[in-house]
Amino acid sequence: MDIAYKGEHLFPGQLGQIFIVLAFGAALLSFISYYFASGKSEADPEQRTWLRMGRIGFWLNTVAILGMGTCLFYILYNHYFEYHYAWSYTSRDLPVYYLVSGFWNGQEGGFLLWMFWQAVLGNILIWKAGSWEKPVLTTVALSQVILTSMVLGVEVLGTRIGSSPFLLLRDAMADAPIFKNPDYLSFIKDGKGMNPSLQNYWMVIHPPTLFLGIAAMVVPFAYAVAGLWQRRYKEWVTVAIPYALFACMILGTGIIMGSFWAYESLNFGGFWAWDPVENASLFPWLVLVAALHVLIVFKNTGHSYFTATFLVMTSFVLVWYSSFLARSGVLGESSVHAFTDLGMFGQLVFGIIVFLVLSVVLMIVRWKELPITRKDEETYSREFWMFVGAVFLGLSCFHLIVVTSVPVWNKMFGTSLAPPTDTVKHYNIIQSSFAVVIALLSGFTQFLKYRKTDITRFFITTGVYLLFSALVTALIVFITGFNRLHYVFILVMLCSIYSIVANGKVLADALKGKFKLAGSAVAHIGFGLMLVGALISAGTQKVVSENRTGEQYSAEFAKENDPKENILLYKNEPITMGEYQVTFRGDTVEGLNHYFNVDYKKVDAEGKVKEEFTLRPNVQANGNGQGFTSSPDTKHYPLHDLYTHITMTNVLNTETPAASGEAGHGEAENDDKNYDPPMTHEVAVGDTITYRDGFIVLKGLNRNAKLESIPLADGDLAVGAQLEVTSHGKIYNAEPVYLIKGRSVFDFPKKIEDLGLKLKFSKIIPDKGKMEIMVYQQPESKKKFIVMKAIQFPYINLLWAGTIIMVIGFLMSIFRRNSELKVR
């Protein structure tokens, strides 16, 4: 018998599922219609009918995608945890902007975002593509069909196709006993929440940018397919170049935004870790950058048509392969970024096969007709060396694919291959070798001309700029201490500086009127600056938190790190760390985030404070005793960053202490076990008591002390000891109370939680004119502490500045290529 569940909000999910089916059907209609329209002549009346149906289908697909997105956000915003997606990726305490990022937190939302951007680009193509609309939109609509199938979530012949974001929690976890209760929602008060590392503003803007870049990759691919299909072999190149530039610019920006996010949210201490999913995001970008250069070669000289077409097509196939790596679950044990398999393994493979087969078949069928030149390029021509550069970009990508795909090879062939022992070192050395060639080529090709170059002048110019670059590199190496690194990195530095200098010369010429090459020069300068910033910041980073005391809290001390690079900070006990004095001041909880306030202070020789600021690294407990996830906080300077994160703490396991107040005698006795045996002191007013972390002064007696919970009768006496505690330069006040009530004597101690102290006024000694004060101290093991690592990244702003400059260069190139299209 079906259970009549209470309190569920089924309408938005049902409406969203209708939109999914509509989007799939509309994309299929658009694909079929555009396909048949492409096979008809312009004069054929049927062509117009098919074209109209293709457009209507694509517009319906766009509306349905918007409807899906609206329904999903409505569910997330209203915390309808009866839906598996909302329960899995959000919680009630998330602010709205994180609910927005929760939209693409899961696989289904990511596919929806990809579909949305592809729909936007498709509508732009309907408006702008002109005679290319029919064949180009055929490919775009085909991509929409496959993407929409990823979120269908329907069963066909016993096989589930896709995973719907509108799946109900009780359907996703049907065997759970809770769902036998019609009122199960009354027990589900909140969702699982968002992964702590994703709670960062970069995750609000990074995925939309990345998916726009991924979606844009379909456009040059669609033009290449259309060019082969329609036998318009040369025409598509000129039209596709601006779109290829746009895709490179946006996807590259998205990848760098991911580096920003990793730098600010992940505690591996840097902006790139050669994680398999990070590597996979580079595959299509590297190949399309190579393709872009060869497209320009073909446009200017007629050479390398096959290579240009092959690279453009390969770049989009690699988009699907990258998605397969990230979303199929095949990298689940080797990447911190990979999704688990949602049953889409076969569909992702199908997507790869469709576009791979389409590319191969078209190339084979049209092979004899391709405009392939038989004449070799001149060795000292720009097109020859641009081709060489594209080859090295391809080889760089090939190396990344081979090593990153080890889990795939093992799954396909039943092998047990293992990645390199030191993966980071392996990638750094090999990819740096490719970077040497690519940076060098991006510099000296600017001094070459298409078809033929004055060789003597070229060598003189190149030699002068290379010598100047060597001098600049030597100066940088000397200043930064870069000479301690592997010689390959120094070569990369030299070639990067050379690229900046050579392209700077081209940019200077452009400002004098030769504006055509300004965009490429600016992009190359940005790329060179990125390499310089990455090399210096990663290669000369310095651990500031050197543990010179050798103090370790336990055998677990920084076990995942080098104990010598982690310092132990007890609350309110400042220590010297490099040029800073650092103090752990306390912790605050904001939602799921547990922030630790660490004060930094620079003091000169005279004791004057030159600078002070507070960093707030945070952690989130992973639950089930599985440790915590740490997110760093960073102080940004013009020439370096100071990066701080927590590697260990006992605060998460400590209950929040109650506010200082009166404690009864029995309660005080029970609490005494949390402290070391007390030290008892007989003191008069003005006397000082020394203890482990400071000193205590009895400033006076308050003979009119009040106790909130105990009324005083005539004859009762309540005296407060006014104590001033000084510890590590900070002053605290406490007033324990001694009470005589009737014939009984009571004491009411005061706690100073920050110092782990409890102070008890235990006796009045009239004949000596003194008071007995008992000082209880928590043992070191019970005091709040953090273990912290701090790293200095020199000149990292060069990396971020280079990114911005590179994007500006791409934009300038897009405007230039668009202006050329208008002239035509």
DSSP line for 749-805: -EEEGGGTEEEEEEEEETTTTEEEEEEEE--GGGS-EEEEEEEEEETTHHHHHHHHH
pLDDT classification of 35: cutoffs 50, 70, 90: very high
Mean predicted confidence (pLDDT) in 286-309: 91
* pLDDT tier for residue 657 given thresholds of 50, 70 and 90: very low
Q: Which two tokens stand for residue 418?
A: 């293992």
Is pLDDT above 60 for 550? no
Structure confidence at residue 661 as a pLDDT band (50, 70, 90): very low
Are 620 and 593 in contact by the 8 Å Cβ rule? The answer is yes
- Average pLDDT on 352-364 reads 95
Residue 552 has pLDDT above 70, yes or no: no
pLDDT band at 377 (very low <50, low <70, confident <90, very high): low
Higher per-residue confidence, 565 vs 591: 565
By the 10 Å C-beta count (0-12 exposed, 13-18 middle, 19+ buried), 79 is classed as middle
pLDDT at 422 (0 to 100):
83
- HEC assignment per residue over 625-651: CCCEEEECEEEECCCEEEEEEEEEECH
Has residue 626 got a pLDDT over 50?
Answer: yes
DSSP 3-state assignment of 720?
Answer: strand
Say what percent of the chain tops pLDDT 90.
36
Residue pLDDT, tens place only, 803-820: 999 999 999 888 888 877
Task: Give strand ranges (E) for 16-142.
Answer: none
Tokens of 86: 């909302």
Q: Which residues contact 582 (CB under 8 A, 6 or more apart)?
A: 567, 569, 574, 575, 576, 598, 599, 600, 601, 788, 790
Cα 654 to Cα 552, 589, 622, 650, 658: the distances in Å are 19, 13, 15, 7, 12
Contact call for residues 500 and 529 (beta carbons, < 8 A): yes
Q: Are 724 and 579 in contact (CB under 8 A)?
A: no
Task: Return the pLDDT at 452.
Answer: 65
Q: Is the dihedral of CA 121, 124, 129, 134 positive or negative?
A: positive
SS (H, E, C) 548-602: CCCCCCCCCCCCCCCHHHCEEEEECCCEEECCEEEEEEEEEEECCEEEEEEEEEE
Band the pLDDT of 656: cuts 50, 70, 90: very low
In this prediction, residue 334 has a pLDDT band, given cuts at 50, 70 and 90, of low
Tokens of 261: 């996010």
Could you tell me the pLDDT band of residue 663, with boundaries at 50, 70 and 90?
Answer: very low
- Tokens 């014939």, residue located: 743
Return the minimum-mean-pLDDT range out of 212-221, 349-358, 442-451. Answer: 442-451
| Higher-scoring residue by pLDDT: 414, 453 | 414
**Which pLDDT score, from 0 to 100, does residue 727 have?**
84
The span from the CA of 491 to the CA of 497, in Å, is 10
Please say whether the beta carbons of 813 and 547 come within 8 A: no
**Mean pLDDT across the stretch 439-451?**
79
Can you give the pLDDT at residue 448?
73
Q: What is the DSSP string of 328-340?
A: SSTTTTT-SSPPP
Q: Does the pLDDT value for residue 9 go beyond 80?
A: yes
Distances (CA, A) of 724 to 496, 693, 721, 736: 61, 14, 10, 11
Contact (CB, 8 A) for 761 and 719: yes
Q: What is the pLDDT of residue 658?
A: 32
pTM exceeds 0.75 = yes
**For the chain, what is the radius of gyration of the CA atoms?**
34
Q: Is 214 helix (H, G, I), strand (E, B) or coil?
A: helix
| pLDDT band of 291, cuts 50, 70, 90 | very high
Q: Which helix (H) or strand (E) holds 252?
A: helix 235-265
Dump the DSSP string for 407-431.
HHHHHHH-------SSHHHHHHHHH
Pick from 755, 766, 684: which is nearest to 726 by CA? 755
Least reliable range by pLDDT among 364-368, 502-506, 553-557, 744-748: 553-557
> What pLDDT was estimated at residue 662?
44
| pLDDT (mean) for 382-410 | 88
Query: In the chain, how long is the greatest CA-to-CA distance?
Result: 120
Distance in angstroms (rounded) separating the CA atoms of residues 289 and 309 = 13
Q: Give the separation between CA 211 and CA 223, rounded to whole angstroms.
A: 20
Q: Is the dihedral of CA 454, 459, 460, 462 positive or negative?
A: positive
Higher pLDDT, 213 or 781: 213
Three-state secondary structure call for residue 532: helix
Pairing of strands 679-683, 770-777: antiparallel
Q: What is the mean pLDDT of the chain?
A: 85
**Residue 623 CB partners (closer than 8 Å, separation 6+):** none
- 212 close to 254: Cβ distance less than 8 angstroms: yes
pLDDT tens-digit readout, 495-538: 999 999 988 888 887 777 667 668 888 999 999 999 998 888 88
Cα gap 347→577, rounded to integer Å: 54
Question: Band of the pLDDT at 487, cuts 50, 70, 90?
Answer: confident
**Distances in Å between the alpha carbon of 69 and those of 60, 198, 273, 641?**
14, 20, 33, 39
pLDDT classification of 709: cutoffs 50, 70, 90: confident
Residue 19 is given by DSSP the state H
Classify the C-alpha dihedral 598-602-608-610 as positive or negative. negative
DSSP H/E element including 159? strand 159-161
Pairing of the two strands 688-691 and 609-615: unpaired
**Is the model more confident about 211 or about 651?**
211
- As a whole number, mean pLDDT of residues 409-413 equals 80
**Would you say 261 and 277 are in contact if contact means Cβ atoms under 8 Å apart?**
no
Predicted confidence (pLDDT) at residue 600 exceeds the cutoff of 90: yes
pLDDT value for 824: 52
Single out the residue of 681, 679, 707, 706 nearest to residue 692, CA to CA: 679
Tokens of 780: 């070191």
Do residues 132 and 109 make contact, with C-beta atoms less than 8 angstroms apart? no
| The total number of residues written for the chain in this structure | 824
Q: Residue 571's closest CA among 785, 787, 732? A: 785
Classify each residue of 712-729 as buried b or exposed e, where b means 16 or more C-beta atoms within 10 Å of its C-beta. eeeeeebbbbbbebebee
pLDDT band at 708 (very low <50, low <70, confident <90, very high): confident
pLDDT above 80: residue 664: no
Q: Report percent pLDDT > 70 for the chain.
A: 89
Q: How many Cβ atoms are within 10 Å of 676's Cβ, its own excluded?
A: 15
More confident residue, 41 or 523: 523
Helix axes 487-511 and 518-539, enclosed angle (nearest 10)? 150
